[in-house]
Amino acid sequence: MIEIRHLKKSFGDTAVLKDVNAVIRKGEVVSIIGPSGTGKSTLLRCLNLLERPDEGEILVNGVSLLAPGADVAAVRRKMGMVFQHFNLFPHLTVLENITEAPRRLLKISEPEARKKAMELLKAVGLENKALALPAELSGGQQQRVAIARAMAMEPETILFDEPTSALDPTMVDEVLSVISGLAKTGMTMVIVTHEMRFARNVSSRIFFMEEGRIYEEGTPQEIFDFPKRPKTVAFIKRVDMEYFALAREDFDEIHIRARARALADRHHLSKEQREKFRSVFVSTLRDVVFPVTEKIDLYMGVSQTDEMIGFAALWDGDVADPFARVPETAEYIRANCRSASFSQTEDGRLEIKVLFDR
Ligand code: ADP
Ligand code: MG
């Protein structure tokens, strides 16, 4: 129902969305996760035209939102949005906040708008707050009102931009439970969130955003349990990671050592752990990887969720196991780490991954 093609958006010289492509089907619940500053809010704001994309296409039910003459107001009515900071009108009561837009934009009569608003307030557990002002409510209650307000426009899709991140922790669950309830009604929803457990439970798909793109997407199980690409792994497993682009003939060993040492210091690795890592690392690069390729992308990291240290080298080349060429070195490496594997990634690159117990 929503198709995003080659969407691009820059602010001045900063390219925020570099090439976003996605399809969101009717009734789907998609959570967008990823580090801050990667364009998640910008993507949502482009979807309901609060920002104008520079390039690309957004189609809703096959109709282009960006074509000249597109009815922007109609797009916004069909695409509700719930913001981090509620954005309720402070001088209007809860009831008036909910009835204002339907009366003004949908030309619904006052009694009908009130009746609908009371039903929605009941659904979010706030029917007894209809006449309160926003300031008289807790943050969690205000956000539930904001959700009822978005629903009052009878949108086809609701976009949530970090709906719980401005809340006191004690109020996060009440808002998440209202959103989960809405998900079960078959409403199409796109949710930017840092609540990973919630995203896993409520979503049909997860988009991981990084580098101005949807860097990896999949089911909650694929993304949370079996993330594939390095930056997804780093984010999900909370890996503190160092990245290097290395060439066989020209790499700065002192630079790598210094960053490896800083990484080890941050995680209080023991002398034995550092020594083992260093020796396996040097053997792997010198005897296994660099004989078969001149250039690699190298990642080195410590995971905070599953107590793991490791490094990975990625390159383009022939699909032949480079460990098989040097059986004695492979044996030495494998005897000194938890696992050392060779595989091909989904996008066709070759990868050696070496992991150590923490
Ligand atoms: P996220 O929601 O993933 O944290 P945002 O979409 O809010 O990321 O922002 C992505 C980048 O775009 C940030 O570097 C931010 O500073 C920049 N940005 C967002 N909106 C604007 C704007 N209106 N003007 C200039 N820069 C912006
Ligand atoms: Mg944001």
Q: Which atom of ligand 1 is nearest to the CA of 43?
A: 6
243 lines ligand 1 (CB under 6 A): no
Q: Determine the pLDDT at residue 307.
A: 77
Q: Determine the pLDDT at residue 60.
A: 92
Q: Determine the pLDDT at residue 137.
A: 96
Low-confidence ranges of the chain (pLDDT < 70): none
**Closest residue by Cα to residue 300 from 285, 315, 287, 313:** 313
In angstroms, what is the span from residue 41 Cα to ligand 1's centroid? 7
- Cα–Cα dist 288/75, whole Å: 56
For residue 349, the 8-state DSSP code is: -
**Integer CA distances (angstroms), 149 to 128, 152, 209, 353, in order:** 16, 5, 28, 49
Where do runs of H (alpha helix) occur along the chain? 40-47, 72-78, 94-105, 110-123, 139-152, 172-184, 196-202, 220-225, 230-236, 253-266, 271-283, 322-325, 327-335
The token pair at 267 is: 């995680």
Are 232 and 299 a contacting pair, CB within 8 Å?
A: no
List of residues 6+ apart from 330 with CB closer than 8 A:
288, 323, 324, 340
- Cα–Cα dist 187/155, whole Å: 9
39 lines ligand 1 (CB under 6 A): yes
Q: Whose CA is nearest to atom 6 of ligand 1?
A: 39
Q: Determine the pLDDT at residue 75.
A: 83
11 lines ligand 1 (CB under 6 A): yes
Are 163 and 82 a contacting pair, CB within 8 Å?
A: yes
16 lines ligand 1 (CB under 6 A): yes
- Cα–Cα dist 38/35, whole Å: 6
Q: What is the pTM of this model?
A: 0.85
In angstroms, what is the span from residue 55 Cα to ligand 1's centroid? 17
82 lines ligand 1 (CB under 6 A): no
40 lines ligand 1 (CB under 6 A): yes
**Closest residue by Cα to residue 150 from 198, 102, 84, 202:** 102
